[in-house]
């Protein structure tokens, strides 16, 4: 972060003096910031050097200034002090990840930039701050402006769809197959198929989603709706298998006890067997969801790998999800994205731990009831 002393000249921002929001928002904030930098370094006059100087700052600086002025037009005409993030390369320099002593050609900052940076440091204008845009912004080409929030929201919508479809369907299927279905060749075949589906590589589900949901049904590309559908298909067999195991584990003596007092098959299943199997089924479901949460491959096939800056507002907006975002960042050339990826991975792991905690808590709650 650098502390900049910016003078908001009225003639620059709002020459007409009408405080028209349209005019304010289209004003040339870049020039204001450049002027502020010029005040700091009056000795830099050369055009090329001035461009280098400007590259010290994040391209988001102008947006930051604009937002500040838009929020409070009365600032126009005054001098304000704002914190502006450095560009990602300077950020890496500040953190010592770029060695100032190394060969000029091998580093991404010029000698001049290093000198300016040191001068700024001497004047006490440089300070370290936690970059909260990580939690509030969508993706960006500039690492210092990129955030996880967009993919988090995308993940939320995707998981919501996955859960809404996979959970009831899988549990219903498990209960039907285990408790009510006649044992014949037809159900045996379904059983074999479910077991095989659980072992199908996840990218195949992505292909299926591409062929069925996008091409056949014409659903929007990159949408959490489609991602959720694909992940639901992928997790269905996992949850079904876990739920059936949980149902099988209910001792037959409980079924006999219920039937023995004259409970019907349906009553036996829903009053006794399912409640007893519920913790196991929930664990299976949450494990399936955790699996889906970390899944990247099938989403690549349905276009959720796109560069998406906007925060998705619903399941039909283009979006990406956290693991895909990590994959994208890890793939990006800018060095500062390494830190972004790491932060995103920590957040993803945090969510996985949270989900497991929920699973444990749900189990506890159900167990206490008996």
Partner 1 sequence: MAMIQEQTLAVRSERVTMSSNDLAKFKTDKVCVFYGVKQALKDVRLDIFQNQVTALIGPSGCGKSTYLRCLNRMNDTITDCRVEGSFLLDGDDIYSKDMDPVHLRARVGMVFQKPNPFPKSIFENVSYGPRIHGLARDKHELETIVQTSLEKAGLWKEVNDRLHQPGTGLSGGQQQRLCIARAIAVQPEVILMDEPCSALDPIATARIEELIDELRQNYTIVIVTHSMQQAARVSQRTGFFHLGNLVETGATEQIFTNPVDQRTQDYITGRFG
19 Rama class: left (phi>0) / alpha (psi -120 to 50) / beta: left
Binding residue (CB under 8 A) for partner 1 from 81, 129, 261, 346:
261
- Report the residue number, 104 or 253, with the smaller CB distance to partner 1: 253
Which span (80-88, 112-120, 134-142, 270-278) binds partner 1, by CB under 8 A?
270-278
Q: Contacts with partner 1: how many residues (CB under 8 A)?
A: 19
Following CA atoms 221, 223, 226, 232 in sequence, which dihedral angle do they give, to the nearest 10 degrees? 150
Between 118 and 265, name the residue whose CB sits nearer to partner 1. 265
What span, in angstroms and rounded, lies between the C-alpha atoms of 271 and 273?
Answer: 6
Q: How many Å apart are CA 298 and CA 324, to the nearest integer?
A: 10
Note the Cα 340 to chain centre separation in Å: 11
In the set 47, 48, 183, 185, which binds partner 1 (CB under 8 A)? 183
Q: Which is nearer to partner 1, 131 or 268 (by Cβ)?
A: 268
Q: Is 264 in the site for partner 1 (CB under 8 A)?
A: yes
Is 256 near partner 1 (CB under 8 A)?
Answer: yes
Widest CA span of the chain, in angstroms?
96
Q: How many CB atoms lie within 10 A of CB 294?
A: 15
* Site for partner 1 contains 262 (CB under 8 A): yes
Instruction: Check residue 189 for interaction with partner 1 (CB under 8 A).
Output: no
Asked if 185 interacts with partner 1 (CB under 8 A), we say no
Closer by beta carbon to partner 1, 47 or else 183 = 183
Q: Which of 80, 114, 203, 259 binds partner 1 (CB under 8 A)?
A: 259
Q: Left (φ > 0), alpha (ψ -120 to 50) or beta: where does 5 sit?
A: beta
The stretch near partner 1 (CB under 8 A) out of 93-101, 116-124, 160-168, 250-258 is 250-258
Q: How far apart are CA 354 and CA 47, in angstroms?
A: 53
Tokens 């200034």, residue located: 65
Instruction: Of 239, 233, 235, 231, give the one whose Cα is nearest residue 315.
Output: 231
Here the tokens at position 171 are 């549990």
Alpha-carbon gap, residue 62 to 87, rounded angstroms: 13
Can you tell me which of 70, 189, 257, 349 binds partner 1, judged by CB under 8 A?
257
308, β-bridge pairs: none
Among positions 19, 271, 364, 365, the unique one binding partner 1 when judged by CB under 8 A? 271
- Report in angstroms how near the CB of residue 362 gets to partner 1 at its nearest: 17
Which of residues 109, 171, 231, 258 is near partner 1 by CB under 8 A? 258
Q: Is residue 200 part of the contact set for partner 1 (CB under 8 A)?
A: no
Q: Is 254 in the site for partner 1 (CB under 8 A)?
A: yes
Q: Minimum distance between the CB of residue 247 and partner 1, rounded to whole angstroms? A: 15
CA distance 259 to 361: 31
Beta-carbon count within 10 A of 19 CB: 13
* Site residues for partner 1 per CB under 8 A: 183, 251, 253-264, 267, 271-272, 276, 370
């Amino acid at each position: 972060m650098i502390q900049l002393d910016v003078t908001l000249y009225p003639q620059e921002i709002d020459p007409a003096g009408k405080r028209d929001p349209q005019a304010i928002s289209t004003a040339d904030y870049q020039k204001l910031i450049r002027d502020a930098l010029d005040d700091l370094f009056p000795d830099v006059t050369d055009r090329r050097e001035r461009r280098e100087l400007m590259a010290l700052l994040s391209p988001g600086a102008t947006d930051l200034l604009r937002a500040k002025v838009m929020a409070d037009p009365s600032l126009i005409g005054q001098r304000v002090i704002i914190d502006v993030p450095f560009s990602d390369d300077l950020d890496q320099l500040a953190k010592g990840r770029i060695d100032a002593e190394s060969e000029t050609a091998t580093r991404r900052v010029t000698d001049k930039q290093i000198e300016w940076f040191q001068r700024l440091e001497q004047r006490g204008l440089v300070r370290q701050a936690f970059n909260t845009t990580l939690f509030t912004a969508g993706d960006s080409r500039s690492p210092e402006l990129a955030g996880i929030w967009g993919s988090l929201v995308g993940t939320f919508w995707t998981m919501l769809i996955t859960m809404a479809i996979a959970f009831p369907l899988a549990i219903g299927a498990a209960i039907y197959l285990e408790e009510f279905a006649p044992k014949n060749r037809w159900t045996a075949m379904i059983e074999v198929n479910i077991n095989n589906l659980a072992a199908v590589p996840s990218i195949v589900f992505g292909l299926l989603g591409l062929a069925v949901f996008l091409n056949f049904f014409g659903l929007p590309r990159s949408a959490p709706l489609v991602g959720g559908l694909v992940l639901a298909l992928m997790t269905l067999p996992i949850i079904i298998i876990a739920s059936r195991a949980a149902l099988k584990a209910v001792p037959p003596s409980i079924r006999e006890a219920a039937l023995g007092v004259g409970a019907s098959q349906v009553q036996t299943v829903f009053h006794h067997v399912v409640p007893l199997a519920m913790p196991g089924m929930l664990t299976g479901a949450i494990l399936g969801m955790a699996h889906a949460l970390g899944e990247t491959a099938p989403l690549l096939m349905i276009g959720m790998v796109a560069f998406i800056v906007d925060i998705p507002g619903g399941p039909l907006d283009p979006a990406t999800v956290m693991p895909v975002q990590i994959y994208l960042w890890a793939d990006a050339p800018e060095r500062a994205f390494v830190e972004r990826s790491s932060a995103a991975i920590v957040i993803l792991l945090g969510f996985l731990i949270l989900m497991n905690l929920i699973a444990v808590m749900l189990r506890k709650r159900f167990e206490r009831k008996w």
